[in-house]
C-alpha cells in the first residue's frame, strides 16, 4: 500500500511517497484535516509559512495520537525571505508556531518573491544566503532534511555551485499535461528527489476528457490516475484536500499504468488555466 512506501533522501532520511498538501486549508480547520489524514494512515504532512496554517498543522500533529517520530512534516521558507537573517529567523518562528522541536524537511518556497515569480531578476545571491541558513539549521538539528521548491535548472545549479550540503528535494508543479521532464531528469542526476505538488492540477485534471477516458480504462478515478502518474515518475505526490473521503480515495493507487499509456499521458494537451488557483501566491497571476 502506498501509505507504507517511502523514498530515501540523499542523507538517508526516509520520506513517505504520498503526503497531504494543506494549501488553502484554513488554520482553524487544518488540525482536523491533519488528524483525519493520520487516522487514515498518512504520515507526511506538507505546509508552508505562506499558507498561514502552520499553527493549526502543529496542533494536528501534536494531537493526532501518533508519535512524532512516525510523522514527516514539510515546511517552506516564505518566498519573500531572501536574506540569511530573515530565513534563519523564520525557521525558528515556524518551529515555535507549530510547537515542534524539529521539522523533517524545510525548503525554500520559491527562487523569487511571488510578485516577481519567473521575472528577469533571479535572486541568485540571495538564494545562496537562504541556503546557508538552511544548512546551519540542518547542522543544528532544527531540520532533518533541506531542499527547494519551484527551482529551475539554473536556480538549482546556483545552489549546487556553492553549497556544503546539496538540496535533497525540489518540489515542483507536476501533473498530467505539465511534466517538466528535463528538470525532473536534472534533479535525479544530482541526487535531488523531485516532488509533485498539485498532482491533480488544482482539480482541473478532473475536468479533462483525455484523463477521464484513461482513468476509465484502468477502472480508477481521474484523481487516482493523476497520483499514480507522478508516483510512476518516481516523485513524491502531494495532493491537497480537507475531505476525508478524498484523502482515502487518494491512497487507493496500487495499480500500474503501462509504459505506453505513461507516454500518452505525458503528451496530453497542457491545462492552461487553474481557475481560482491561477493567481497569487501560486503563479502571481502570470
pLDDT at 283 over 80: no
Model-level pTM? Answer: 0.96
The catalytic residues are: 51
Q: What is the pLDDT of residue 275?
A: 76
DSSP string, the chain: -GGG-EEE-TTS-EEESB-EE-TT--TTTHHHHHHHHHHHT--EEE--GGGT-HHHHHHHHHHSSS-GGG-EEEEEE-TT--SHHHHHHHHHHHHHHHT-S-BSEEEES-SS-GGGTT-S---HHHHHHHHHHHHHHHHTTSBS-EEEES--HHHHHHHHTT-SS---EEEEE-BTTB--HHHHHHHHHTT-EEEEESTTGGGGGGG-HHHHHHHHHHTS-HHHHHHHHHHHTT-EEE-B---HHHHHHHT---S---HHHHHHHHTSPP----GGGSSTTTSTT-
Q: State the pLDDT confidence band at 271, using cuts at 50, 70 and 90.
A: confident
Amino acid at each position: 500500500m502506498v501509505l507504507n512506501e517511502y523514498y530515501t533522501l540523499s542523507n538517508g532520511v526516509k520520506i513517505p511517497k504520498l503526503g497531504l498538501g494543506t494549501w488553502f486549508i484554513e488554520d482553524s480547520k487544518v488540525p482536523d484535516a491533519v488528524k483525519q489524514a493520520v487516522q487514515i494512515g498518512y504520515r507526511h504532512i506538507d505546509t508552508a509559512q505562506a499558507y498561514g496554517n502552520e499553527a493549526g498543522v502543529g496542533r494536528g500533529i501534536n494531537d493526532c495520537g501518533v508519535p512524532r517520530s512516525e510523522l514527516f512534516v514539510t515546511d517552506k521558507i516564505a518566498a519573500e525571505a531572501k536574506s540569511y537573517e530573515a530565513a534563519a529567523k523564520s525557521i525558528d518562528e515556524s518551529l515555535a508556531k507549530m510547537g515542534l522541536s524539529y521539522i523533517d524537511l524545510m525548503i525554500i518556497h520559491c527562487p523569487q518573491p511571488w510578485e516577481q515569480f519567473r521575472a528577469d531578476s533571479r535572486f541568485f545571491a540571495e538564494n545562496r544566503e537562504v541556503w546557508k541558513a538552511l544548512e546551519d539549521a540542518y547542522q543544528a538539528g532544527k531540520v532533518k532534511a533541506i531542499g527547494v521548491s519551484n527551482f529551475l535548472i539554473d536556480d538549482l545549479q546556483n545552489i549546487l555551485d556553492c553549497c556544503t550540503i546539496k538540496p535533497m528535494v525540489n518540489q515542483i508543479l507536476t501533473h498530467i499535461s505539465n511534466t517538466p521532464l528535463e528538470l525532473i531528469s536534472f534533479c535525479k542526476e544530482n541526487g535531488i528527489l523531485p516532488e509533485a505538488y498539485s498532482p491533480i492540477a488544482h482539480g482541473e485534471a478532473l475536468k479533462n476528457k483525455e484523463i477521464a477516458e484513461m482513468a476509465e480504462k484502468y477502472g480508477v478515478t481521474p484523481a487516482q490516475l493523476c497520483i499514480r502518474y507522478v508516483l510512476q515518475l518516481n516523485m513524491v505526490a502531494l495532493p491537497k484536500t480537507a475531505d476525508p473521503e478524498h484523502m482515502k480515495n487518494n491512497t487507493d493507487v496500487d495499480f500500474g499504468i503501462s509504459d505506453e499509456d505513461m507516454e500518452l499521458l505525458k503528451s496530453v494537451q497542457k491545462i492552461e488555466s487553474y481557475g481560482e488557483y491561477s493567481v497569487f501566491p501560486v503563479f502571481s497571476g502570470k
